[in-house]
Structure 1
Amino acid sequence: MGNFLKFGLIGLGVCLVLFVISAVIFAAVFDPNDYKGRISQAVLKETGRTLTFDGDISLTFFPGLGVTLGGLSLSNAEGFGPAPMASVRSARVTVRLLPLLMGKVRFNRLELDGPVLNLGRDEKGGANWDDLVGREPDKADKADQDEDAGSGTFDLDVAGVAVRNGSLSWDDRKSDTRFLLRGLDVTTGAISKGGLFPVKLSVNFDCSKPDAKGALTLEGKSSIDLASRQYGHMDVHATVKATGAAIPGGVLDGKLNFQFLALDFNKETAQVTGLECTAYGATLLADGTIRGLTDGLKAATASLTLQPADLRTVFAALGAPAPNTADPKALTEVGGTAKVNFKTGRLALDDVELSVDGCRIVGKGTVERGRAWPRITAQVDAGEVDLDRYLPPKHGENEGAAQEQAKAGGLDDTVLPAGVIRRLEFDLDANAAGVKIGGAKLGKTAVTAKAEGGLVTVDPMVAEAYGGTVKVSGTVDARQGAPVVRIRSEVVHLDVGALAGDVTGKSEYAGIADYTSSLNAQGERMKDLLGTLGGEFTFKLSDGVFPGVDLVGMARTTQTAKGRDTVESDHADSTKFGSITGTGTIKDGVVTNQDLEVMAPGLRADGHGAFSLVTRQIDYMVKAKLVPTGQGQGGKSSDELFGVMVPIHVTGTLDKPHYWVSVKEYAKALGGVVVDTVGTVLGGVKNVVKGVGSALDKSCCEDGDQAEEPERKKFLGIF
């Protein structure tokens, strides 16, 4: 046994000596540079390209068998310029000796210095590599390929890869796109089938169309299985910094990390775990899978988390203006989670949970392929929603400008475009624990809305409000011709005082309101909708208080103040009323009311008339009188009580109403002593109507041409 081992070692040593002697002799008598011309001619014959050797070829035998190339370049295809398609400053490839003696190929470190690859497409879409990859192999080559394929799979085993200062250019003349990757440095550890190896990469990019330039770095671990076409990446950390007009906001400083990414090109699937993307002041977390890597996205599932972010900072980083909100701190803390499920033609969002400035919103929804536009289905439940924070701020100048713009041409604006309505497809169900809008605070609010085939339905919108309820339902029907709008509304036992306090900040109003209406209109423009508006309505305001006047006290003062021209009320005074009721109709935009009735202690009033929402013209009269009764709601009507009747004419426009009374005829009929009383009554009525929502001007008691130009105020807020 000992002799066998001894002779075996001697034989191995002799073989090594013979190999070294053979290698030395081979290196001495064989020069690979002598074959450059033959190699170039063979390449030219097969490809039509010119292979140029700019440096020497040298062979190495220890510690591995290999070859080192100097400069090498391959010419470009015709029509793509004089620059080579591919070139390298130097390259080194060696094979380990011992595995080679055992019939296996094991590479040492592969090194490339200064590789350059110039790729492109012409105006017709032809690529400069088409003549290389599109060639049909001859029968002998095909037989060799089949033989190689049947001999078994190739086991990748490389000690490492090092690429220094590489570059890649892409010039797409068809899409007019150009970019350049330069300064590419890649280093890896040992690469073997299915084994993890470290990877480190850095590259600069410069794009002229689109305009973007920057740098990318990446570090992590990877695995490659060429036979199964499976690639894995773990603990990857990447950064990208970019500037340019094509970059949102002009500047990007982003980070991308993930724990695991698996790509399977046989199954066309990818799976990612622990993805964390940070850019523009926001961070998105994701775990998910996708199907369809090379032949188009087929399906995807993911769990997404948006960490709390200041959206104003995000908008600023993107170079976009932030929403103009009344609260400058609105949208400064937004985050949430959702589960996404995508299949061709359908996107579903489940378990959606958002937090917007402390308001919790949960729900689910789908987006599906519709007839013209996507069909949206959503169910949303929210907590207390303060919409006032997110509406534009109120500024007097802006409001005035908006009003002038509305007068100039707002009525001609299209508000219900039939073409858009016919494309809408949605089914929405929203609920909120509370809603604040315009200062008004609503309780539980629910809205159900649908749209399909040109018919939009809201049925219903219901809200708890100030001790009562508000209910609105309606349709917009654009299936044929101009849209037809039908709206039904109902207000039950709404506390006007509490509402006015929240909206105006004043607590001087009081009363319980009931209101119903059924309206309809047709048209796309606001002008058309107002001109065709029709329907009917009823209203009742009970158990209320008008601020600014004590009618009974004024009447008593008037009787003892004959020497005074007028009797003014103290704004700290108030008058309680029992009820204000009425009904009305609307036809072609003209609102008509014939039965306004006011019952208050010491006061009765009724009114009738009309005004046009199109021309804004008013023709209305309120008849008011002081009466000797302390009853309000439930008391006798105006016709059953004796008093001084004062007819108040209301003319002009809704924007500039004119209030006036002919005092001369009352002075002639009742005597001059009554004039002071009439003035007092008008002062009381003025404050009463103001409390309802209108106002009388200080000169309402004057007559004819001598009347002072009245103050212009809003009218008929009760309607």
Structure 2
Amino acid sequence: MKLIFRVVTALVLTVVLLAALVLLLPGEKIARLAADQLQAQTGRTLAFGGKVRFTFWPTLGVKADAVTLSNAEWAGPEPMLQAERLTIGISAAELLQGDVRITEVSAILPHLNLATNAEGVGNWVMDGGAGGGTGGSASGGTGSGGTSDGDSSGSALPLRIEAVELTGASLRYAAHGAAPVEMKNIDLSLLWPDPAGTAAVKATLRPAGEPVAVDAEIGTFAAFLAGEVSSVGASVTAPGGKGRFDGHADINGEASGRLTFGAQDALQTGVALGVFLPDALAQKAVFAADVTYTADGRLSMRDLAVELGANRLTGAADVEFKERPSITAQLQGGALDVSGFAAGQSSGSGAGGGGSGSAGSGWPDDPIDASALGLADAAIDLSFDSLSTGGVNLGASKLNLTMERSRAVLKFLPASMFGGQVQGQVVANNRSGLSVGGKLTFTGIRLERALGETAGYSRLNGEALGELEFLGSGKSVKAIMRSLSGKGWLEAGKGFFTGFDLEELMRSGGNGGSTVFDQLTASYTIKDGNLRNKDLLVLLKGFRAEGKGRIGLGARDIDYLFSPQLVRAGRDQVLTIPVRIKGSWDNPDIRPDFGQALQPKIDEIEQEAKDRVRQKLSEELNTEIAPEQDLNDALKQRIEQEARDQLLKLLGGD
């Protein structure tokens, strides 16, 4: 809106200046004298490269070809204005009465080269190379600043411009410190019947080829041109949408008032305005706010309401436009759905239901574009009733997002997700390569939702609490998952595993079914994308199970050993048949490990045999053999002792 105001007013102001100064001096030398007058008062050079033709009655008119108006010294050597033809008409009868009523100002194929300097002053402000001002015609609309016969000491003539029309205009606008904006094929018309009253402006801009119509009313237009604040009402109509501003503004772009916008297709409207928008914005959009914009680049929005599709946000926001914009906002929403904005959704990145069972097929390997983290600095508070992201779904939550120099911190204060509550923060840092990390505590979350929505694993069901710290880095989701490190713990009440039934496995080795547990506790560490655990404890009806092993977060595989212990009724014997889970998350192989199950019994039988041999040897050798003593050593010592005894007898000993 600021750019549109400046384009329209600068176009009008430039033509008004030319009209006021070219038409002061009737006669054969009008062109040269007008150019001299303009240069004397503004320091600008007006040149006519083609013919200058005149009419005298009933309309005093001039048509000049190849007209150029020089630029401000600080704005460069290119002319501020060039036009193939400039036509100006005056009511001759009223001119004889001392009243200058301009009935027509038109330009064909004009080109405007507009700019602002470090102080925010535009090159269309002509404060005079000789100390003169812009003249009463440009600033106050009540006089022209010139006299008949070229005498600059005469009194000013009253000036009225009834109509201005530009056809096929082009524009280059370079605000200080910003990239130039160029537009072509601009049409403009202005009706200003009362010098002290309202001007009606109509313009057609084509920033991206499609026509964008501007229809504005500027109260006390003469004062507006002089830099004073005036009432402004403007409508902007583009393909797919329409905006409206009602308030006050000045020629430097400062404005305050109510801004509204509505579009059936926000993407179509954005494309017509030359603004890049994501495809997800191809839906109905509504915007309304009380806005205030200041010359130093600060935009304030109060009583803000935004609707996009079924999403609605209200609140307030402030934006400071600088090299890296700074945004502060407090927003509230209802049921929000931003799943359409989720980029890079891959069929292989889903929640473990792919069915291929390939360990490496899960995580996307496409490069992540995290450049958006450096587009702006921000401090945004957001609360909502629910939020669907296309991956993780949240309930009523309060979030805080801060962004500073390509580093974003999202705080959960708390957030309702996975059926419970999560507190803590997640950090994304793109200052020297992308890394993500966080520290979260959670209570009452559903494990099947948490593991399913974040890691694509939904075989573990139950309500849990715990803590998680993690850190990963890389250029893709796959690289980040394979680099993860961290630690954590969790505790769960009643729940179940799907895919195997421990009781059935222990009875017959069968597979399938579910295992119901009463309690689960575990701690874990993460390194190089592998989660390792040594102290899993699961309490089940009639027995307990311990577990240890590796879960490949990066490779999406598992190698884990459950060791259930079943106490036989009325006996002290404990039956243990470990269950090994190995393979991909999608289709792991789950079967009892009989080697692990028989090993304790084999060890028991072996020990019992050793004890019997030790007892027999003790009886035969008539020597006590200690349990810790090696049987071979004991037998060797007994043989050596017997040999010594027999040798002594042979030599005549006892």
TM-based fold match above 0.5: yes
Displacement after TM superposition at 1:655 (Å)? 9.3
1:367 and 2:319 aligned = yes
1:599 to 512, 521, 539: 539
Q: Distance in 1 between matches of 2:468 and 2:478?
A: 21
C-alpha offsets along residues 44-97 of structure 1, whole Å, 9 cap, x if unaligned? 9x97xxxxxxxxxxxxxxxxxxxxxxxxxxx996xxxxxx5353433216xxxx
1:205 and 2:168 aligned = yes
Query: Taking structure 1 as reference, are residues 433 and 221 closer, same or farther at Cα in structure 2, changes over 3 Å only?
Result: same
Q: Distance in 1 between matches of 2:482 and 2:160?
A: 76
Contact 1:308 1:335 in 2 (8 A): no
Q: Secondary structure at the match of 2:278?
A: coil
Q: Distance in 1 between matches of 2:361 and 2:600?
A: 48
Contact 2:483 2:529 in 1 (8 A): yes
Q: Secondary structure at the match of 1:264?
A: helix
**1:471 matched to which residue of 2?**
423
Query: Taking structure 1 as reference, are residues 488 and 430 closer, same or farther at Cα in structure 2, changes over 3 Å only?
Result: same
Q: Distance in 2 between matches of 1:582 and 1:356?
A: 44
Displacement after TM superposition at 1:461 (Å)? 4.0
Give the alignment of 1:74-85 within 5 angstroms: 84-85=48-49
Supply the AA of the counterpart residue of 1:119.
T
1:161 to 103, 122, 126: 103
Query: Taking structure 1 as reference, are residues 492 and 649 closer, same or farther at Cα in structure 2, changes over 3 Å only?
Result: closer
2:255 to 259, 277, 300: 300
Q: Distance in 2 between matches of 1:618 and 1:552?
A: 21
**1:290 matched to which residue of 2?**
249
Q: Distance in 2 between matches of 1:642 and 1:614?
A: 37
Displacement after TM superposition at 1:357 (Å)? 1.8
Q: Distance in 1 between matches of 2:275 and 2:226?
A: 41
Q: Secondary structure at the match of 1:463?
A: strand
**1:492 matched to which residue of 2?**
443
Q: Secondary structure at the match of 2:324?
A: coil
Q: Which stretch has the larger CA shift, 604-613 or 302-311?
A: 604-613
Query: Taking structure 1 as reference, are residues 415 and 284 closer, same or farther at Cα in structure 2, changes over 3 Å only?
Result: closer
Q: Secondary structure at the match of 2:531?
A: strand
Query: Taking structure 1 as reference, are residues 404 and 197 closer, same or farther at Cα in structure 2, changes over 3 Å only?
Result: farther
Q: Which stretch has the larger CA shift, 314-323 or 519-528?
A: 519-528
Q: Secondary structure at the match of 1:331?
A: coil
Q: Distance in 1 between matches of 2:394 and 2:190?
A: 54
C-alpha offsets along residues 284-327 of structure 1, whole Å, 9 cap, x if unaligned? 11123334x4xx55x432321113442133256468886344xx
Displacement after TM superposition at 1:233 (Å)? 2.6
1:578 and 2:549 aligned = no
Unaligned runs of 5+ in 2: 1-25, 37-44, 83-95, 116-140, 144-156, 173-180, 603-654
Displacement after TM superposition at 1:593 (Å)? 1.0
**1:648 matched to which residue of 2?**
580
**2:217 matched to which residue of 1?**
258
Query: Taking structure 1 as reference, are residues 467 and 663 closer, same or farther at Cα in structure 2, changes over 3 Å only?
Result: closer
Query: Taking structure 1 as reference, are residues 453 and 439 closer, same or farther at Cα in structure 2, changes over 3 Å only?
Result: closer
Q: Distance in 1 between matches of 2:579 and 2:380?
A: 51
C-alpha offsets along residues 513-537 of structure 1, whole Å, 9 cap, x if unaligned? 2221234568999899778754421
Percent identical residues: 20
**1:222 matched to which residue of 2?**
193
C-alpha offsets along residues 680-705 of structure 1, whole Å, 9 cap, x if unaligned? xxxxxxxxxxxxxxxxxxxxxxxxxx
Q: Distance in 2 between matches of 1:214 and 1:482?
A: 44
Give the alignment of 1:180-195 within 5 angstroms: none
**1:178 matched to which residue of 2?**
none
Query: Taking structure 1 as reference, are residues 200 and 354 closer, same or farther at Cα in structure 2, changes over 3 Å only?
Result: same
Contact 1:119 1:171 in 2 (8 A): no
Q: Which has the higher contact order (CA 8 A, sep 6+)?
A: 2
Contact 1:204 1:213 in 2 (8 A): no
Supply the AA of the counterpart residue of 1:92.
F
**1:272 matched to which residue of 2?**
231
2:492 to 541, 545, 563: 541
Q: Distance in 1 between matches of 2:550 and 2:67?
A: 80
Displacement after TM superposition at 1:128 (Å)? 10
Displacement after TM superposition at 1:578 (Å)? 1.3
**1:622 matched to which residue of 2?**
562
Query: Taking structure 1 as reference, are residues 528 and 338 closer, same or farther at Cα in structure 2, changes over 3 Å only?
Result: same
2:469 to 507, 518, 537: 518
Give the alignment of 1:654-669 within 5 angstroms: 663=594
Contact 2:561 2:580 in 1 (8 A): yes
Q: Distance in 1 between matches of 2:418 and 2:303?
A: 33
Q: Distance in 2 between matches of 1:455 and 1:596?
A: 36
2:198 to 199, 220, 233: 233
Contact 2:364 2:477 in 1 (8 A): no
Contact 1:584 1:592 in 2 (8 A): yes
Query: Taking structure 1 as reference, are residues 606 and 383 closer, same or farther at Cα in structure 2, changes over 3 Å only?
Result: same
Contact 2:248 2:256 in 1 (8 A): yes
Q: Distance in 2 between matches of 1:460 and 1:451?
A: 15
Give the alignment of 1:391-410 within 5 angstroms: 391-392=342-343, 396=347
Q: Distance in 1 between matches of 2:229 and 2:108?
A: 28
Displacement after TM superposition at 1:280 (Å)? 2.5
Q: Secondary structure at the match of 1:222?
A: coil
**2:65 matched to which residue of 1?**
116
Q: Secondary structure at the match of 1:336?
A: strand
Q: Secondary structure at the match of 2:317?
A: strand
Query: Taking structure 1 as reference, are residues 309 and 211 closer, same or farther at Cα in structure 2, changes over 3 Å only?
Result: same
Q: Distance in 2 between matches of 1:314 and 1:360?
A: 19
Q: Distance in 1 between matches of 2:46 and 2:361?
A: 63
Contact 2:363 2:477 in 1 (8 A): no
Q: Distance in 2 between matches of 1:223 and 1:41?
A: 27
Contact 2:365 2:477 in 1 (8 A): no
Displacement after TM superposition at 1:358 (Å)? 3.4
Contact 2:505 2:591 in 1 (8 A): no
RMSD after superposition: 5.6
Q: Which stretch has the larger CA shift, 262-271 or 117-126?
A: 117-126
Q: Secondary structure at the match of 2:211?
A: strand
Q: Distance in 2 between matches of 1:397 and 1:478?
A: 25
Supply the AA of the counterpart residue of 1:277.
V
2:56 to 92, 96, 99: 92
Displacement after TM superposition at 1:628 (Å)? 5.7
**2:15 matched to which residue of 1?**
none
Q: Which stretch has the larger CA shift, 578-587 or 198-207?
A: 198-207
Q: Secondary structure at the match of 2:235?
A: strand
Displacement after TM superposition at 1:470 (Å)? 1.4
Query: Taking structure 1 as reference, are residues 345 and 393 closer, same or farther at Cα in structure 2, changes over 3 Å only?
Result: closer
Query: Taking structure 1 as reference, are residues 274 and 265 closer, same or farther at Cα in structure 2, changes over 3 Å only?
Result: closer
Q: Distance in 2 between matches of 1:274 and 1:300?
A: 11
Query: Taking structure 1 as reference, are residues 553 and 653 closer, same or farther at Cα in structure 2, changes over 3 Å only?
Result: closer
Give the alignment of 1:312-351 within 5 angstroms: 312-315=267-270, 317=272, 323-325=278-280, 331-351=283-303
1:356 and 2:311 aligned = no
Supply the AA of the counterpart residue of 1:233.
T
Q: Distance in 2 between matches of 1:357 and 1:458?
A: 25
C-alpha offsets along residues 182-239 of structure 1, whole Å, 9 cap, x if unaligned? xxxxxxxxx9889998945554316599997657363644332xxxxxx6434x2625
Contact 2:223 2:229 in 1 (8 A): yes
Query: Taking structure 1 as reference, are residues 661 and 500 closer, same or farther at Cα in structure 2, changes over 3 Å only?
Result: closer
Q: Secondary structure at the match of 1:314?
A: helix
**1:608 matched to which residue of 2?**
548
Contact 1:110 1:162 in 2 (8 A): no
Displacement after TM superposition at 1:415 (Å)? 5.8
Displacement after TM superposition at 1:397 (Å)? 7.2
